[in-house]
Amino acid sequence: MSDDTVTRAQLSEAVYQGVGLSRNESSDLVESVLEEITDALLRDEMVKISSFGSFFVRQKGQRIGRNPKTGEEVPILPRRVLVFRPSHVLKGRINEGYEKRAGHVVPVSGLTDGSSS
């Protein structure tokens, strides 16, 4: 993929290619999944996707911030923020792909190099 961003259209196309639904059905399926995730987050429910990660909404309290340009203190109002925590499986796959691209060998703990001590 040449772009650095995956769009809804690309997700729909991937479903179309992988599952064999029509393009319209694939688009509707992607929209339905995204809508369900959004609705669950709006209800303050955690969304866990196995081997991918968890989405949840967290409440942040009011605090005092500082304008870096002027140094002036400004209040930052309480707000809700969306948090994503990747699963260990996703983290491992991302790091494994990085290691392969960088030409590093991923060490396996507990194994020796075969030489006797």
pLDDT digit string, tens, across residues 11-62: 999 999 999 899 999 999 999 999 999 999 999 999 999 999 999 999 999 9
Instruction: Please indicate whether residue 113 or residue 53 has the higher confidence score (pLDDT).
Output: 53
pLDDT of amino acid 6: 95
Give the DSSP H/E element, type plus range, for residue 25: helix 23-42
The candidate with the shortest Cα–Cα distance to 44, out of 80, 16, 11, 14, is 80
- Kindly state the average pLDDT of the residues 76-86: 97
Neighbours of 5 (CB within 10 A): 6
pLDDT digit string, tens, across residues 94-104: 998 777 777 66
- DSSP letter (8 states) at residue 57: E
Does this model's pTM top 0.75?
A: no
